[in-house]
Structure 1
Amino acid sequence: MLILKPNSETVTPAPSYFAVTALTYTMFFMFAMTTDAVGEIIKIAKGDMNLSNTQASAFHWATMTAIALSGILFGYFADKFGRKKTIIAGLGLYGLASASFFMGTSFQLYFSLLFVSGLAIGIFKTAALALISDITTSTEEHTRTMNALEGFFGIGAIVGPLLVISLHARGISWTYLYLFAAALCLVMIIWAAFTSYPQTKKSTDEPVNLWKSFALMSNKYAMGFSMAIALYVAAEVSIFVWLPSYLEGYTGTQIATWMATYAVMVFFVFRALGRFLGIWILKHIKWTTVMMIFSGVIFVCFAASAFFGQTVAAFLMPLSGLFMSMMYPTLNSKGISCFPKTKHGAVAGLILFFTAVSAAAIAPLMGFVADSFGGDMRYGFILATILAGLLFVGMIYNFIKDPAASALKQANITEYNQ
């Protein structure tokens, strides 16, 4: 596990520092375990509840819509009420929603609980992202730490689908995944309650409120990074939501059939490995170069998978996870780091809003496109390929112009005393 060095000017004594870092990593592991298992859950629920692709996509967009609302409406909580209180509140709500999956088996109940869990994720995730700024000493370290954090998210994304597959194979309901998540939440709430968190020093006397969060929409850095992340998320979500459906029923060679069966799991393995690898890569290669090259490879993987069919998709879609790995945490980190630490909660909330809006929109849109062509999900992936292409174009521009360079350089001076 990556162990960070505290900034003595902004954090509490070192004994609580390791606990705070480990707890943050565990939080991301826990909610990834449920949210990124949605593709496997959808595949099961479609049969159990006789749902169309469009209807089944609600299992995903209910959570994503709620995360979007929570990010924009409650993102400033971490700046106003503190990271610790906000994290405990979010975990409490998430644990309650997860435990309630055993109250019934109706589509309406599941939809409602997924929406509530999304609100909770928005609350504790923005606080956790803001906390990263309190335990790092430069914008560069912030980016590497964000990749490590998302690496643990990636591990949870592997465990979640694997648990759902294992439960289903044994005739056990996928809802037991949420019971496990509820238990983890209880452990983390107790853990957080008895842990001393870093204290963020206020560098301004301006009030922290909802309107300040909305005002960030006029900022070129906030919106530029948000739009780039929205395009990336659309590509990523298309894989773990719809790839199981695209490859369902595929038969080919033994290795191709195995890859098709475990495509999402392999994708998540590559994504997790890539994020830990990113800690090293970003020390040696400029981040704008990495983003351009990797987004180009992602576009090629999508285009080949959409136009050459299931056999190609069974190999290239999982492989794209290795190149997707560094995109989200790096863009997220750079977007947040363009601002003072006292605004990091609000900025993280705004970026999370666009992240979740994109994730919520692409799933039903791909389902609708596929249903319009007789249920063939290949047409949904053609749409995802177009969005991956737009991301590549954006990263070419970012490489050539490097529009955030001056803001990041200034942040190292004013926020991290570099």
Structure 2
Amino acid sequence: MNFFVFAILLNTVGIVIKRVIDDYGVSEALAASLEAYKDLSIAVASFLLASYIPRFGYRRSMLAALLAVTLASMVVATVTGFWVTPVLYMTIGVSFALIKGAVYSTVGLITRDQGEHTSLMNLLEGIFQVGALTGPLFFSVVMGFDFSWYQTYWIIAVVSALAFLLLLITPLDESEVAAHPEQAGLWEMLKLLRWPMVWVFVICAWLYVMIEQSFGTWLPTFHERIFGLEKHIAAGMLSVYAGSIAFSRFVMSYLSRRVPWLPAQLTMLGGAFALILIILLATAGWQTDTIDSWFQVPPLAWTFSIMGFFIGAIYPTIVSIVLSKLEKPRHAAMTGLIIIFSALGGTTGSFVVGFISRSFSTHDAFFFPLIPIALLGLMLIPYKRLTDRFAQEHHTA
């Protein structure tokens, strides 16, 4: 439920940007700065705080984060004015760094082996995607009843408060981590980079997020310019993409205890590569009239939108692998690195696709994700070998 709350908060920033422009009369540039408040606060907090979470306590970190966003949501719901939204997103960013570090680390405490760890990680990330789909619905329903958009934050505050109360009464044994306070701190996070396994993971995570964000950012533009979809339909197709990612993670949550992860992920990457290539070749020179009905959406557009199914499970799987090989007191520090390099990958992917779109065409730009998909497939092979060797040498298998 913790992840669900933050998925709603993090994935509705686009709605808030549009609303503050209309309601508060701020410029587009100033409104767009909300993304920076969110992303930079996540990155800075991850670097400065994530490695100290074991000292503060996983449960206390999550409780503090939930309390902070509950109060911030109540403030936004009651105080009108643009100035409260940057405060909200800075609070969300810092709190998310605490939540993600604590949640990822807690998975290691409550699972017994790598199979269980990977299964639970995929389940958590699947729930996160469901939250990403639910958030816009909350805003849509509230505004549909002629309430102001910021009244939605009363609902979010209630959901966050419920998550706080549930966590408050949920027992969590942190004794295994509390016994090693010397393995918490910023230096411990930097020391993780001495292992080749961590460097290869960083590259894999960077490549994955580059792929996912390339599609997440530019898929609506592709649908508008290539398939001729109206803006509201193109935006709706993005939910199909997010839903396919969630479904992929739920499926892998079930299969991870039964199927070796490397063949499964290589197969999925191969499917993603083939699907993208076939659709791009099939849509070269595509000519169509404007489509303003869901019933007229071409099958190729639907197929392109479910590409998320082929990549969705890769991120939680590789994250689970590296965490399950490390000693549990080091999980929070590793999570800090995960968040930082994931953010860099997302920014890079969106920028490159946007640059190619401006220089050539949107259609040509979507050939770019084929490169990180191929590289990720190649990197997973040494990643498997290095993680297995690390587990043998450090007796964490």
Shorter-chain TM-score: what band?
Answer: 0.7 to 0.9
Q: 1:234 aligns with which of 186, 205, 210?
A: 210
Matched ranges for 1:131-280 at <5 A: 131-169=106-144, 171-202=146-177, 204=180, 206-247=182-223, 260-280=234-254
Question: Is the CA contact 1:34–1:178 (under 8 Å) kept in the aligned structure 2?
Answer: no
Question: Is the CA contact 2:9–2:92 (under 8 Å) kept in the aligned structure 1?
Answer: no
Q: Which residue is equivalent to 1:314?
A: 301
Question: Is the CA contact 2:325–2:387 (under 8 Å) kept in the aligned structure 1?
Answer: no
Partner-residue secondary structure (3-state), 1:283: coil
Aligned-partner residue type, residue 332 of structure 1: V
Q: Which residue is equivalent to 1:85?
A: 60
What is the CA-CA distance between 1:316 and the residue it aligns to? 3.6
**Separation of aligned partners in 1, 2:155 and 2:355:** 33
What is the CA-CA distance between 1:187 and the residue it aligns to? 2.1
Question: TM-score, structure 2 length as denominator?
Answer: 0.81
What is the CA-CA distance between 1:299 and the residue it aligns to? 3.8
Decide whether aligned partners of structure 1 residues 218 and 129 sit closer, same or farther in structure 2, where only a CA change above 3 A counts: same
Decide whether aligned partners of structure 1 residues 211 and 68 sit closer, same or farther in structure 2, where only a CA change above 3 A counts: same
What is the CA-CA distance between 1:414 and the residue it aligns to? 3.9
Q: 1:399 aligns with which of 364, 381, 389?
A: 381
What is the CA-CA distance between 1:105 and the residue it aligns to? 4.0
CA RMSD of superposed structures (Å)? 3.6
What is the CA-CA distance between 1:312 and the residue it aligns to? 7.6
Matched ranges for 1:95-134 at <5 A: 95-102=70-77, 103-106=79-82, 109-134=84-109
**Separation of aligned partners in 2, 1:167 and 1:392:** 43
What is the CA-CA distance between 1:181 and the residue it aligns to? 2.3
Decide whether aligned partners of structure 1 residues 173 and 338 sit closer, same or farther in structure 2, where only a CA change above 3 A counts: farther
Q: 1:354 aligns with which of 341, 345, 349?
A: 341
What is the CA-CA distance between 1:335 and the residue it aligns to? 1.8
Decide whether aligned partners of structure 1 residues 274 and 207 sit closer, same or farther in structure 2, where only a CA change above 3 A counts: closer
What is the CA-CA distance between 1:300 and the residue it aligns to? 4.4
Partner-residue secondary structure (3-state), 1:198: coil
Decide whether aligned partners of structure 1 residues 245 and 276 sit closer, same or farther in structure 2, where only a CA change above 3 A counts: same
What is the CA-CA distance between 1:268 and the residue it aligns to? 2.2
**Per-residue deviation, residues 265-324 of structure 1 (Å, max 9, x unmatched):** 212222222211112332333211222222233344555666737968732442012112
Question: Is the CA contact 1:232–1:388 (under 8 Å) kept in the aligned structure 2?
Answer: no
Question: Is the CA contact 1:58–1:364 (under 8 Å) kept in the aligned structure 2?
Answer: no
Aligned: 1:390 with 2:372: yes
**Separation of aligned partners in 1, 2:52 and 2:214:** 31
Q: How many residues align?
A: 381
Question: Is the CA contact 1:57–1:363 (under 8 Å) kept in the aligned structure 2?
Answer: no
Gap regions ≥5 residues in structure 2: 289-297
Question: Is the CA contact 2:321–2:387 (under 8 Å) kept in the aligned structure 1?
Answer: no
Partner-residue secondary structure (3-state), 1:404: helix
**Separation of aligned partners in 1, 2:275 and 2:381:** 21
What is the CA-CA distance between 1:248 and the residue it aligns to? 5.1
Gap regions ≥5 residues in structure 1: 1-25
Aligned-partner residue type, residue 209 of structure 1: G
**Separation of aligned partners in 2, 1:212 and 1:245:** 42
Decide whether aligned partners of structure 1 residues 282 and 235 sit closer, same or farther in structure 2, where only a CA change above 3 A counts: same
What is the CA-CA distance between 1:56 and the residue it aligns to? 6.3
Question: Is the CA contact 1:65–1:357 (under 8 Å) kept in the aligned structure 2?
Answer: no
What is the CA-CA distance between 1:131 and the residue it aligns to? 0.2
Decide whether aligned partners of structure 1 residues 250 and 389 sit closer, same or farther in structure 2, where only a CA change above 3 A counts: closer
Percent identity (aligned): 23
What is the CA-CA distance between 1:388 and the residue it aligns to? 4.9
Q: Which residue is equivalent to 1:3?
A: none
Aligned-partner residue type, residue 232 of structure 1: Y
Aligned: 1:287 with 2:261: yes
What is the CA-CA distance between 1:218 and the residue it aligns to? 3.1
**Per-residue deviation, residues 313-354 of structure 1 (Å, max 9, x unmatched):** 732442012112211110111121221111011111111111
**Separation of aligned partners in 2, 1:296 and 1:174:** 42
Question: Is the CA contact 1:151–1:273 (under 8 Å) kept in the aligned structure 2?
Answer: yes
**Per-residue deviation, residues 223-273 of structure 1 (Å, max 9, x unmatched):** 2212211221122223444434554588769xx998635212212222222
What is the CA-CA distance between 1:97 and the residue it aligns to? 2.9
Aligned-partner residue type, residue 264 of structure 1: L
Partner-residue secondary structure (3-state), 2:307: helix
What is the CA-CA distance between 1:95 and the residue it aligns to? 2.4
**Per-residue deviation, residues 23-79 of structure 1 (Å, max 9, x unmatched):** xxx011111122233455556667776866x77654434322221222221112322
